[in-house]
Amino acid sequence: MPPARLGRTLMTNHKQQRSWISAAALQATNIALAVFLAVLVVSPSAQAQFKVLYSFKGAPDGDTPVGPLLSYNEADFVGTTSTGGTDGQGTIFRLRHGFEWTYTVLHSFDHAKSEGSSPVGSLVRDSAGNLYGTTSAGGDPNCSCGTVFKLHTNGVLTVLHRFTGKPDGAYPYAGLVLDRKGNLYGTTQHGGLPCKFNFGQECGVVFKVDASGKETLLHYFAGGWDGGVPGYGALIMDRRGVLYGTTSLGGQLDFAGVGAVFELHRNGTLKVLHSFTGPDGSQPFGGVFLLGTTLYGTTSQGGTGGGGTVFDLDTLTGKETVLYNFTDHADGGYPQSDLVPDDTGQQFWGTTYGGGIFTDCPGSGCGTVFSVPVGGGEKVLHKFSNSDGAFPWSGPIRIRETLYGTASRGGDFGVGVVYEIHTK
């Protein structure tokens, strides 16, 4: 059976939204609420730099933006919503600024056309301006396992591949990376071959889809040493064509493990660069980015504070360094997002799904936007208050000194926002 629709999940309470957050972690959060309530007040100076650019309205407009934005320039963005649209299956939208911000639905996914539904990953664009992405469900009527699509510049959507589960993969929650030849690379959370820890589904795959729609499987995750169930972050590719990514489970620990960072050559050779153990982080849902020979990313749980981590990883030595341990209090907790660096590579920005202000999002916190320097430590740039957004799933993008991103809930209509926040 396919996983529960993400949009429905996000509309329930936080425990249902975050099935991977243990009951113990949520109980600890509730206990800590009384202690930390006094500091959970957003300062005027922090809020002064933050602005909501658009509040989603629900169907037929758009609902629950989970993926990150893609920029044409500082006043022109495209993105996806996981639900909403004319058929309720999700949208591709454009938000651009002229005299004011104008929102346009470029495409509403149509269940009757087997186009797919619930797009949650990032979009990529080719040199001609065509957009590519994935849907986490829909497509093949016998599986509803998701699709890879192309949105042409004339607004016509073409499905390049419909996943069937076994053996070609199922539920691609992450976006795609595009090489110079027009090949697309991505991951699925399930499908493929049986899992070592077998939770009723397979462990996922890494795939390539060429311009004609032909799929090639580069790796089947087995759930052991090689990891299993890739996260929500898209793969990245270095100049040699080597791919890097994360898995939310598997690795070297006994039983299921708590996730890994991997390197994959296009001939299918996979190397695990790091297996998480818990104290150094666990269950990385975001992707990684590469500066020199060092990868940077987040884990959604674990660390000494129990609320996830920011880490770096030397690809040559395999040494991991935890740059920050989230406590799931005022500093935020449970980051799902990728990180974005500044021009010097000395500071990174990201989001946490929870923590921050608990009065408006009881038991979980509404989430934060944060920065972490290379030397460690953390600064909270913004604490969401539900009225201005809540539960940011993906990380922001950066244009000069301004960050732009989405929050999956909250806003004027409770179904998500697009925001900007100045870093200086």
**φ/ψ (deg, to 5) at 29:** -60, -45
In tens, the pLDDT along 76-128 reads 999 999 999 999 999 999 999 988 999 999 999 998 999 999 999 999 999 99
Decide if 53 is inside a domain.
Answer: yes
In tens, the pLDDT along 381-398 reads 999 999 999 999 999 999
At 167 the pLDDT is 86
Structure tokens at 93: 């939208």
What lies within 8 Å, CB to CB, of 218 at 6+ separation is 185, 205, 206, 207, 208, 243, 264, 266, 268
Decide if 1 is inside a domain.
Answer: no
Instruction: Give the total number of structural domains in the chain.
Output: 1
pTM to 2 decimal places? 0.88
What lies within 8 Å, CB to CB, of 6 at 6+ separation is 64, 66, 82, 83, 118, 120, 136
Kindly report whether the peptide bond that precedes residue 167 is cis, defined as omega within 30 degrees of 0.
Answer: yes
What lies within 8 Å, CB to CB, of 235 at 6+ separation is 174, 176, 177, 185, 186, 187, 206, 243, 244, 245, 287
Decide if 197 is inside a domain.
Answer: yes
Higher-confidence residue of 46 and 338: namely 338
At 257 the pLDDT is 79
Please check the confidence at residue 254 and state whether its pLDDT lies above 60: no
At 309 the pLDDT is 98
Range of the domain at 407: 6-422
Q: Which of 394, 353, 350, 401 is nearest to 371 (CA)?
A: 350
Please check the confidence at residue 360 and state whether its pLDDT lies above 50: yes
Structure tokens at 200: 């009723």
Q: Work out whether the CA dihedral 378, 408, 340, 209 comes out positive or negative.
A: positive
At 27 the pLDDT is 37
Decide if 176 is inside a domain.
Answer: yes
CATH number, domain containing residue 381: 2.130.10.10
One DSSP character per residue, 351-369 reads EESB-S--SSSTTT---EE
User: Residue 239's CB: how many other CB atoms inside 10 A?
Assistant: 6
Asked if 87 and 63 count as a contact pair (C-beta separation under 8 A), the reply is no
Looking at 16-25, 212-221, 230-239, 327-336, which range is the least confident one?
Answer: 16-25
State the average pLDDT over residues 316-336: 96
Looking at 3-17, 47-61, 332-346, which range is the least confident one?
Answer: 3-17
Looking at 6-10, 81-85, 163-167, 199-203, which range is the least confident one?
Answer: 6-10
State the average pLDDT over residues 26-42: 35
β-pairing, 101-108 vs 124-125, is unpaired
